[in-house]
Structure 1
Amino acid sequence: MDQQPPGDRAAAGSGVPMPTCYRHPDRETGISCTRCGRPICPECMVSASVGFQCPDCVRQGSGTGHHPAASRPRTLAGGSVAADPRLVTKILLGINLAVFLLVSIRPALVNDLTLLGRWDPAPMLVPATGVAEGQWYRLVTSMFLHQEVVHIAFNMLGLWWLGGQLEAALGRSRYLALYLLSGLAGSALTYLLAEPGQGSLGASGAVYGLFGATAVLMRRMNYDMRPVLVLLALNLAFTFYNRDGIAWEAHVGGLIAGVVIAIGMVHAPRERRTAVQVGACTLVLLASIGIIVARTMSLT
Structure 2
Amino acid sequence: MSEPAQSGVGVPTCYRHPDRETWIRCQRCERPICPDCMRDAAVGFQCPECVAEGARTTRAGQATYGGRRSHDPRQTTIALIAINLAVWVGVLLTGARSSWLADRLMLLPQGRCETGGGYYPGVDQASCATIPDTTWVDGLADGSWWMAVTHGFVHVDVWHIALNCLGLWVLGPPVEAALGRVRFLAVYLLSTLTAGATIFWLADPGGSTLGASGGVFGLMGALAVLALKVGGDLRGLLWLLGINLVFTVTFPGISWQGHLGGLLGGALGAAMIVWSPRGKHRGWWQAAGFAATAVLLAVAFATRAAMLS
Going from structure 1 to structure 2, the CA distance change for 1:251 and 1:80 (only over 3 Å counts) comes to same
Q: Which has the higher strand share?
A: 2
Structure 1, gaps ≥5 residues long: 1-7, 21-26, 33-37, 46-50, 59-66
Contact 1:260–1:280 (CA under 8 A) maintained in structure 2: no
Contact 2:28–2:231 (CA under 8 A) maintained in structure 1: no
Who is 2:227 aligned against? 218
1:16 aligns with 2:12: yes
Out of 13, 26, 30, the position equivalent to 1:29 is 26
Who is 2:121 aligned against? none
Distance 2:152 2:307 in 1: 23
Who is 1:76 aligned against? 64
Out of 62, 74, 79, the position equivalent to 1:86 is 74
Distance 1:261 1:135 in 2: 25
Contact 2:111–2:137 (CA under 8 A) maintained in structure 1: yes
| 1:70 CA drift (Å) | 5.5
Distance 1:198 1:267 in 2: 38
1:114 aligns with 2:116: no
| 1:289 CA drift (Å) | 1.3
Going from structure 1 to structure 2, the CA distance change for 1:252 and 1:44 (only over 3 Å counts) comes to closer
Going from structure 1 to structure 2, the CA distance change for 1:82 and 1:28 (only over 3 Å counts) comes to farther
Going from structure 1 to structure 2, the CA distance change for 1:200 and 1:70 (only over 3 Å counts) comes to closer
Distance 2:267 2:284 in 1: 18
Out of 263, 266, 275, the position equivalent to 1:258 is 266
Distance 2:82 2:203 in 1: 29
Output the amino acid matched with 2:26: T
Distance 2:174 2:268 in 1: 18
| Aligned positions of 1:164-179 closer than 5 A | 164-179=173-188
Distance 2:224 2:141 in 1: 34
Output the amino acid matched with 1:117: P
1:42 aligns with 2:51: no
| 1:192 CA drift (Å) | 1.2
SS of the aligned residue for 1:115 comes to coil
Who is 2:91 aligned against? 103
| 1:221 CA drift (Å) | 2.0
Distance 1:141 1:183 in 2: 9
Supply the RMSD in Å over aligned alpha carbons.
Answer: 3.0
Out of 120, 125, 129, the position equivalent to 1:123 is 125
| 1:292 CA drift (Å) | 0.7
Q: Give a deviation string over 1:157-187, Cα, whole Å, max 9, x none.
A: 1111110000010000000000011001101
* Range moving further from structure 2, 71-80 or 245-254: 71-80
Output the amino acid matched with 2:154: L
Going from structure 1 to structure 2, the CA distance change for 1:181 and 1:138 (only over 3 Å counts) comes to same
Aligned length: 264
Going from structure 1 to structure 2, the CA distance change for 1:72 and 1:15 (only over 3 Å counts) comes to same
Contact 1:30–1:39 (CA under 8 A) maintained in structure 2: no
Going from structure 1 to structure 2, the CA distance change for 1:136 and 1:19 (only over 3 Å counts) comes to farther
Going from structure 1 to structure 2, the CA distance change for 1:78 and 1:230 (only over 3 Å counts) comes to same
Contact 1:43–1:85 (CA under 8 A) maintained in structure 2: no
| 1:267 CA drift (Å) | 2.2
| 1:43 CA drift (Å) | 4.5
| Aligned positions of 1:171-250 closer than 5 A | 171-242=180-251, 244-250=252-258
SS of the aligned residue for 2:12 comes to coil
Output the amino acid matched with 1:16: P
SS of the aligned residue for 2:69 comes to coil
Pair member with larger Rg: 2
Going from structure 1 to structure 2, the CA distance change for 1:18 and 1:266 (only over 3 Å counts) comes to farther
Contact 1:96–1:144 (CA under 8 A) maintained in structure 2: yes
Q: Give a deviation string over 1:37-83, Cα, whole Å, max 9, x none.
A: x86433499xxxxx97659x96xxxxxxxx8x766431222221232
Contact 1:212–1:256 (CA under 8 A) maintained in structure 2: yes
SS of the aligned residue for 1:224 comes to coil
Output the amino acid matched with 1:114: M
Who is 1:267 aligned against? 275
1:284 aligns with 2:301: no
Who is 1:145 aligned against? 154
Q: TM-score, normalised by structure 1?
A: 0.78
Out of 135, 151, 154, the position equivalent to 2:144 is 135
Contact 1:213–1:258 (CA under 8 A) maintained in structure 2: yes
